[in-house]
Amino acid sequence: MIIIKNGDLVSDAVTQGDIAVDGNKIVRIASHIEPTEDDRVVDASGCYVFPGFIDAHTHFAMKNAMTTTADDFQSGTKAAVLGGTTTIINFASPSETGSLVEGFNESLAKAQGVSSCNYRFHMEITHFDKKVETEIKAMKQLGVTSFKVYLAYGFRLMDDDIYRSLEAVKAVGGVLGAHCENGYLIDVLTEKCRIRGELSPASHPLCHTAEIEAEAINRLATIGKMVDYPVHVVHLSSQAGLEEIRQARASGIQITVETCPQYLLLDDSCYHLPGFESAKFMFSPPARSRADQIALRQAVVNGEIQTIATDHCSYNFDGQKTLGRDDFTKVPNGIPGVQQRVSLMYTLFHETEGLGPVQLVRLLSENPARLYGLYPQKGVLAVGSDADLVIYKKDGESVIKAENQAENVDYTPYEGFKVNGCVKDVFLNGDQVVVNDKLIVKNNGVYAK
Ligand SMILES: [Zn+2]
């Protein structure tokens, strides 16, 4: 057995104690566990022991019309586990023929054998017909219970097909998440920028206003009410969007919400940087005002936001972001962050009244595990749960630098950010895969069905 000793164990409260791991499970938790000669002892004094963190929003190995993400499963999951994330939930796209099952199999093949943390998938619904409806049912046997629709981009669904998708997801008891931005209004504002010749990244947030997000959230909530089934908003970015969620909840609509570190830490000053630097911050929805950032932080404190994921979707600055040097609409949208999420949020929570390690576990591990059917195997320190564990050193401070990251991308939007403490050791399925910040066992991730 492995005995992790003297750590501050984080669940509903923080308690000092020991954890015994046998095989891939936690087998005992007590204030003191006496090791035998055969046991290996790992000292966690001065550290928090967290259940492995879950990043429920990544885009590894994603191909679009312009280019392919810089991180595939190999590099992305290495970065994830080094940063304390033991399970990622990646978005799988339908195959070229439009099949969900084929698309799932393609994604699974890309992840298997090369992933250094555990993985699972959400399935995107990019069109709706009888075949898709049947396949949503078939996905359950494959371990996929969460789906996503887009209200923006070329593959967006119209309201009738969102309604039909939600009905189909309801029939299997799944979760439907939505990218909430009104794509038609983005298109009309983008066209106006083009006519005015305003083609720099500064135009990006002007074409993706907070009202455009709020309107789409309102529409999704209305569909949720009509189908009488909960809906999930991914990457909430604005106060206007938050107000729509409050109103929806007040009228009895069940709606869960995810936000991301970029909306809690960055603001729209990043769209006024010299040269072409602002392209590094082009993601959708975009970074908002300081007032939006403060409102979202307060919503995290209040429990109005349930989960924090990254929306990691990395593109190199050189060669990929620069595709849009003369036209911001050609800049691939997305930023990296899977490696820095835990330490950035640990630091923010440490500095924010009403937040701390208990809330960190709730938003980055327990709540995503509950929402996506992984609880209590994951998301909690408990006897019988999977031994996915993070030992986080409390002391010390470090500065985020792209040159130190395992992400396969040439920049980080968090360059120069100071973080408190660090991920020291990580256990994945009972094996210690990270020792003193070094990845010693690669490719040990399994499909978290
Ligand atoms: Zn995304």
Separation CA 201–CA 271 (nearest Å): 6
Do residues 297 and 387 share a domain? no
Is pLDDT above 90 for 199? yes
* Phi (first) and psi of residue 401, to 5 degrees: -135, 135
The answer as to whether 407 is a domain residue is no
Q: Is residue 307 part of a domain?
A: yes
Q: How many CB atoms lie within 10 A of CB 38?
A: 6
* Cα(347) to centroid(ligand 1), Å: 24
Calculate the alpha carbon distances from 321 to 116, 124, 303, 324, 333 in Å: 27, 24, 35, 6, 8
| Number of compact structural domains in the chain | 2
Domain harbouring 93, CATH code: 3.20.20.140
CA of 311 to the centre of ligand 1 (A): 5
Q: How remote is the CA of residue 433 from the centroid of ligand 1, in Å?
A: 27
Give 308 Cα–ligand 1 centroid separation in angstroms.
12
Confidence (pLDDT) at 64: 87
Q: How far is CA 348 from CA 54, 137, 195, 419, in A?
A: 18, 40, 41, 9
Query: What confidence tens digit (pLDDT) does each residue in 113-171 have?
Result: 999 999 999 999 999 999 999 999 999 999 999 999 999 999 999 999 999 999 999 99
Query: Domain range spanning residue 434?
Result: 2-49+383-397+421-439
Mean pLDDT across the stretch 206-215?
A: 98
**Is there a single domain that holds both residue 19 and residue 74?**
no
Ligand 1 centroid to Cα of residue 90, in Å, is: 9
Residue 449 lies in a domain: no
pLDDT bin (cut points 50, 70, 90) of residue 89 is: very high
269, part of any domain = yes
The residues near 415 (Cβ < 8 Å, ≥ 6 apart) are: 400, 401, 402
Q: The domain spanning residue 28 has which CATH number?
A: 2.30.40.10
Distance 149 CA to ligand 1 centre (A): 11
Report percent pLDDT > 90 for the chain. 99
Ligand 1 centroid vs 15 CA: distance in angstroms?
A: 36
Say whether pLDDT at 82 is over 90: yes
pLDDT attached to residue 12: 93
What does the alpha-carbon distance between residue 47 and residue 7 come to, in Å, rounded to a whole number? Answer: 6
Q: d(Cα 141, Cα 136) in Å, to the nearest integer?
A: 10
Q: Is residue 271 assigned to a domain?
A: yes
pLDDT per position as a tens digit, 343-395: 999 999 999 999 999 999 999 999 999 999 999 999 999 999 999 999 999 99
Tell me, in angstroms, the distance from the centre of ligand 1 to residue 198's CA: 26
Residue 431 confidence (pLDDT): 98
Q: Note whether 19 and 97 are same-domain residues.
A: no
Structure confidence at residue 318 (pLDDT):
98
12-24 mean pLDDT:
97
Residues 37, 148, single domain; the answer is no
pLDDT digits (tens, 9 = 90+) for 67-79: 999 999 999 999 9
On whether the CB atoms of residues 332 and 323 are closer than 8 A, the answer is: yes
Q: How far is the CA of 62 from the centre of ligand 1 (A)?
A: 10
Q: How far apart are CA 310 and CA 301, in angstroms?
A: 18
Instruction: Report if residue 315 sits inside a domain.
Output: yes
Q: Give residues whose Cβ lies within 5 Å of ion ligand 1.
A: 311
Q: What's the CA-to-centroid distance between 8 and ligand 1, angstroms?
A: 33
Whether omega before 51 lies within 30 degrees of 0, making that bond cis, reads: no
Considering the domain architecture, whether residues 189 and 42 belong to the same structural domain is answered as: no
Q: Classify residue 244: in a domain, yes or no.
A: yes
Q: For a pLDDT cut of 70, what percent of the chain falls above it?
A: 100
Instruction: Give 213 Cα–ligand 1 centroid separation in angstroms.
Output: 14
Answer yes or no: is pLDDT of 65 > 90.
no
In a domain, 200, yes or no: yes
Q: What is the pLDDT of residue 441?
A: 97
- Ligand 1 centroid vs 376 CA: distance in angstroms? 26
Q: 275 and 260, same structural domain?
A: yes
Distance in Å, CA 380 to ligand 1 centroid: 25
Within this chain, do residues 248 and 388 fall inside the same structural domain, yes or no? no
The verdict on 231 and 302 lying in the same domain is: yes
pLDDT > 90? residue 330: yes
Single-letter code of the amino acid located at 410: D
Q: Distance, CA 150 to ligand 1 centroid (Å)? A: 10
pLDDT of 266 reads 98
Centre of ligand 1 to C-alpha 301, Å, is 23
Is there a single domain that holds both residue 281 and residue 170? yes
Do 106 and 248 belong together in one domain?
A: yes
Q: Do 324 and 434 share a domain, yes or no? A: no
Residue 437 CA to ligand 1 center (angstroms) comes to 28
pLDDT digits (tens, 9 = 90+) for 221-245: 999 999 999 999 999 999 999 999 9
pLDDT, residue 41, reads 98
| Residue 163 CA to ligand 1 centre (angstroms) | 21
131/252 same-domain check: yes
pLDDT average, residue stretch 169-186: 98
Residues 6+ apart with CB under 8 A from 145: 139, 172, 173, 174, 175, 372, 373
